[in-house]
A and B are shown apart, each in its own frame.
Chain A
Amino acid sequence: MFSAIGSGVGVHGDFQGLDGPHLAGDPCLVLTTDPKPRLRWTAELHERFVDAVTQLGGPDKATPKTIMRTMAVKGLTLYHLKSHLQKYRLGKQSCKDLPDNSKDASCLAESQDTDSSASSSSKIAQDLNDGYHVTEALRVQMEVQRRLHDQLEVQRRLQLRIEAQGKYLQSILEKACKVLNDQAAATAGLEAAREELSELAIKASNDSNGLVPVDALKVPSISELAVSLENKNPSNLPARFGDCSIDSCLTSNGSLVSPMGVASQAAAMKKRPRPLFGNGDSVPLEWMITNSG
């Protein structure tokens, strides 16, 4: 049924489909009898229309103005033609997908037109009108369906996108925590080394004349560290470091997060001992630091 309609005939959407009285004369316009006179696109009129359009090179090339001139029908306005042309074009579009049916339909239409008695032409017009209504309704329904389908598609895609982002954030969080823990573990190792060195320094200063009371300066805090290390709880180490009010490499800003990793921390460590080990024993100790770092 729809293929017949799809043969490219369109009509004004508000068409009543009444069998109103024909006005005499040909070519003439048939107007409906309802309060607002509307144009009835009879088969004849439509055929003229199709001829004109074909003459002008097809529905896409033809314009309402040119069709009007070509058709040369009295009383036909641009307004009528605009809407009829639009319907025709749309009909042509949907018709493209049904090539076989349209051929049958156009044959049907042609054969019907050649009979060309008043009753048959009005009957065809009637059928066509009904068909046009259905086309309209169908089109609207398709719009709604398409919209719903799109919205569902969007929802589905959104879910996938949210999932992807969530998965990524989870994984980057885990990796960041791992990096942090690795660094803490590395610093733990360094702190152990540092502890050893400070003990050596104490020994060294005790051996020497004890110019700098190194033990008074640093030992309490380092023993704190030693305690924490013995507790073997690496994740708590940063807390410990924070509690110590020494300006070790861990509370300062740059050194812990250097991209070069442990090597730079060792390098940073190198600077640290100077205030501590103020006497002449610093050189061999630094050498020991770099080796143990």
Chain B
Amino acid sequence: MGRSQEQGEGQGPIHSIRLSTVGAARPTETGTTHEPTGLDLAMKLHYLKAAYIYSPETARDLTVRHMKESMFMLFDQIAWTTGRFSRRDSGRPYIKCNDCGTRFVEGQCNLTVEEWLSQPDRSVDEFLVYHQPIGPELAISPLIYVQLTRFKCGGLGLGLSWANIIGDSFSLFYAFNFWTKAITGETIHAPIPSKGDRGFQSPNPTVKDPVSVKRIDPVGDLWVTPNNKKMATYCFNLSVADQISPHFPANGDNSIPVFEIIAGIIWKCVAKVRAEPEPVTVTIIKKDPNDLKPNNAIRNSQVISSVQVDFPVAEATVEELVRSIGEAKDERFGIEEIGGSCDGNLDFVVYGAKLTFVDLSGEDLYGARVMGKSPHSVYFNVEGVGEEGLVVVYAAAKSEERVVTVTLPEEEMEMVKLEFKKCGMIAP
């Protein structure tokens, strides 16, 4: 049972929603601005959503006031993310660093953490992340939403909705970890460097027309991906040993490229459903292994690369697909150029322009410890996905498992799930 993507007021099982604002402790100098890069601007219609659930033992004594105070410490480091977008005379968007703040949402849930986690489709966690797009009035649209959901047993759900234009998923996790350290009361020695060099080294400076990005008609000031089809989400766990290894010939050294295999299998399944035309081009998004210093600044540095095959996907073997994925071409340079062209007035879709696979499996999501305890469950997805669909792979609570969140057009979802069942990815 996928969950349809819709802009959210608190709905379904979350009630007693209260909105307030948190910001930075120290005032920013008047007139400070933050200029998005071309790559930032290309991502503007997408929003990253992460939900962390903590057990009652960890979270029972955490008050709203304490959580807000620690948020202030976080935003002291990245005060520019509490600003608001505005446009220059040329139309190019920029952030006015006016300390306006981010929206803090409090909600209650009548279920216990156990009851909540008992649902096999983890996309219910979408309810834990309050989301509103940027626009139609840029000046009063926060870039980040934080939701604090109190479960009946005292457990806590922390949901973060983060506009991709300010930073990629790795930046989001870094900021969240910073917040959990502040909540735990650890003295934070290294502040988040946010004004560092935001460039990246790309081995392919000559790619001119990136295929991983699709230009769309202008959306004006309401930054929402226009889709003709309604999208649905499905989230499930995979065991590496039982469900992934069998698809790949065993290597002598016992290391298999788990993400690439998952991507290959799902690519095949989608190709079988989406017969005409087959998705021969996909986008792969990963962390940049050569991330320039300063490390972990809040910015868009994820590698966006494209894979194109010239053989029919549905009949190909997983090995062939894995090999092709390994030869993906980094298109960031081209995206940077095209994103910043026409003074940032063009609008693009990246996630879902082609079938997109995001690799977050290297991220230590369960290292976001509050009071020394890891979260019970972590969920991640992207809002504003294009019609070709998105697959996100990330770590599960158990190290021998992975979590996969799939966002596809509603009409395709049931058939794709059937394909998953056929190849053993999900239980029949």
Do A and B associate with each other?
no
Q: Which residues of A contact B (CB under 8 A)?
A: none
